Amino acid sequence: MSIRQIDEQVIVRLSKGEESAFSLLYDCYYTYLNTVALCYVFDKNVANEIVNDVFVNVWHKRKTIIYPIHFYLVQSVKNGCLNHIRAQQSHDRIMSEHRKQLLEFQEEYVLSNHTPLEYIETKEIEMEVRSAVERLPEKCRVVFEQYFYLGKVPEDIATDLLISVSTVRVHIKNALDKLRISLKHLIGLTIFLIIKIISHF
Amino acid sequence: MQNEDSHIDDLMLDFFSGSISEKDRQYLFQLLLSNETYQSRFDSMIKLRAVSFIPYIESQKQDNYQALMRKIKSKPNKQPNRWLRSFLRVAAIVIFVISLSVASFYVYHDITALGNKDICYETIVPAGSQTKVILPDSSVVWLNSESTLKYYQNFGHKRRDVYLIGEGYFEVQKNMKKPFFVHTDYIDVKVLGTVFNVRAYKGDNTTEISLIQGFVDVLLTNSHQSTSFSLKVNERLIYNKQTQIISKYATEASKSALWTIGKLSFVDATIDQIAKDLERKFNVKIRIDSEQIKQEHFSGSLNLNNSLKEILTYLDVDKKFVFVQAGDTIHIRTN
């Protein structure tokens, strides 16, 4: 599965209403767009919702969609994330100043970071990440998966596994440190925005 | 330093999971602002975290596709539904506005129609007096004795209608959009803004209109054919009720309005006509018992502020009249 597979022909077929073309677009982009969204909204369910909305929109607007579609998709996801962040800002009417500033910071992050993750071979990446996770020490991996994928809080994990909360935290951090090393090339350490944002406050 | 880094990682993870405390949030934010290295750590943590989710996201992919397709498949029904709903919403507003304006149109016209029937302003001047009426459009009407002026509440709505019995001197305010109508038993006068005198006493043989300023149209209401005449300044139109003959004369029209300042003017008038004016003014009855006098014509003006006796004496230029008073009737004979 590669983003490269989405060529002009696929988009032409999509615009004609071919479901197979839409299905291919979904296969190639679903994971990528979800990771992009996760960079901005952090909650995996919210991210998934935003991505689904983008796909629904693409299907309904298929007649007007033209190749290339990549930046359109990324921008749509970003807009969805911005809407979510802004909705939070206006939703919590009474909000501490720094909370508000942090949301502004997030907003700024979305706006400035135009290519959040640069990878195109989703299947390969998936294998890579999966094997990196599987290489983690047993306990470390279990804690990591429960914390990240199942969204459990450290306190619950500690109770389930009969270990202390601080041990859970250590496991999580160890897992991240190991993954950071093995997935370094994916993350592409870009120093971001910094000066631009600081000048804002 | 190692410890601090680890603490920051904790804060960031708590921030991502949404379980961060207010105090820690503030602390984290200040750290992010204070130092570039924290920012890049934050950035790489975000990306690492996102990438780490890939196996999980992949595992959800197929199930999510089914859910997504269900959503899309159900949408074509929902989509036109939504269109329909917003269309209906707009349609409802449009219909509401239209019906409101139609309703208000009818309500308004009902009120004015009601006004037409029910609410009427009437000025009745008894014999022997005069009155000045100021209409809603600030036109001025002088009403001579024994006259009635009537207008309805819708006066000035689309046009200005007044109903006159008797004699009135009109100074009509100019309004090209709302013509002014004076309705009498036999004649209607249509004006836009002029000064004129209308004399339409029930007891008189004639109805007279004299134009002092401007321009009027006179419409015959009593005839089967609708005839209209234009009147110019210093013209007098006389309609004879018996013969139904209309005649126009050149006249010094301002004299016809002299009564408004307490004077009476005659041009070639018979004693009968003068007597009628005097009857009204002084609220008496005057009988002319001499056929000879009835044939005479008088021209000139009388000051109505004088007593009736003085006026009659003034009329008797040749000193041949005999006045006999019996109750409130005065007989004029020749000696």
A42 to B43: CB separation less than 8 angstroms, yes or no? no
Q: At what angle do helices A8-15 and A19-41 cross, to 10 degrees?
A: 110
Show the tokens assigned to B241.
Answer: 């009720």
Nearest residue on chain B to A58, alpha-carbon basis: B72
Instruction: Give the single-character DSSP code of B228.
Output: E
CB pair distance less than 8 Å for A129 and B54:
yes
Contact assessment for residue A125 and residue A131, using Cβ atoms and an 8 Å cutoff: no
Residue with tokens 């990771």: A35
Tokens read off for A100: 């508000």
- Could you please state the CATH topology (level 3) that the domain comprising A112-200 is classified under: Arc Repressor Mutant, subunit A (1.10.10)
| Range of A37-41, B313-317, B320-324 with top mean pLDDT | A37-41
Q: What is the pLDDT of residues A121-179, one digit of tens each?
A: 677 788 888 899 999 999 999 999 999 888 888 999 999 999 999 999 999 989 988 98
| CB-CB under 8 Å, A96 with B48 | no
Architecture field, domain A3-84: Orthogonal Bundle (1.10)
Which of A44, A56, A190 lies at the smallest CB-CB distance from B53? A44
Q: Look up the ipTM and state it.
A: 0.86
Q: How much is the average pLDDT of B21-30? A: 85
Q: Indicate yes or no: CB of A117 within 8 angstroms of CB of B50.
A: yes
Same topology for domains A3-84 and A112-200, yes or no?
no
Write out the DSSP string of B196-225. Answer: EEEEE-TTSSEEEEEEEES-EEEEESSSSS
CB distance B19 to B11 below 8 Å: no
From A136's Cα to the closest Cα of chain B, the distance in A is: 12
Task: Compare all CA atoms of chain B with the CA of A103 and give the residue at the minimum distance.
Answer: B29
- Distance, in Å, from the CA atom of B306 to the CA atom of B146, rounded to the nearest integer, reads 19
Q: Count CA atoms closer than 13 A to A163's CA, side-chain side.
A: 14
Residue positions counted in chain B: 335
With CA atoms as reference, report the closest residue to B163 among B148, B146, B142, B180.
B148
Query: SS3 breakdown of chain B: % helix, strand, coil, rounded to 5?
Result: 45, 30, 25
Whole-model pTM above 0.80?
A: no
pLDDT of A52 reads: 95
What does the domain layout of chain A look like in residue ranges?
3-84, 112-200
> Taking CA atoms, what residue in B is nearest to A53?
B68
- Does A117 score more than 80 pLDDT? no
Residue A113, C-beta contacts closer than 8 angstroms, at least 6 positions apart: A39, A190, A192, A193, B43
- Joined tokens for residue A132: 């990196």
Q: Is B254 left (phi over 0), alpha (psi -120 to 50) or beta?
A: alpha
Using the predicted structure, report yes or no on whether residue A67 has a pLDDT greater than 50: yes
- For B161-196, the pLDDT digits (tens) are 999 999 999 988 888 888 899 999 888 888 877 889
Say yes or no for a CB contact (<8 Å) between A189 and B40: yes
User: Long-range contacts for A70-77 (Cβ within 8 Å, ≥24 apart)?
Assistant: A70/A3, A70/A6, A73/A29, A73/A33, A74/A33, A74/A36, A74/A115, A74/A116, A77/A33, A77/A36, A77/A37, A77/A50, A77/A51
> Could A186 and B47 be called an inter-chain contact, meaning their C-beta atoms sit closer than 8 Å?
yes
Planar angle of CA A101, A103, A107, nearest 5 degrees: 115
- Cα B316 to Cα B241: distance, rounded to the nearest angstrom: 30
The pLDDT tens digits of the residues spanning B55-71 come to 899 889 999 999 999 88
Instruction: Find the CB nearest A192 among B25, B43, B45.
Output: B43
Residue listed under structure tokens 């800002």: A89
Taking only the tens place, the pLDDT of each residue in A78-90 is 999 989 988 877 7
Q: What is the pLDDT of residues A9-20, one digit of tens each?
A: 888 899 888 999
The reply to whether A12 touches chain B by the CB within 8 Å rule is no
- Give the pLDDT score at B111: 58
Angle subtended at Cα B284 by Cα B278 and Cα B290, rounded to the nearest 5 degrees: 70
Q: Assess contact for B303 and B313: CB atoms under 8 A.
A: no
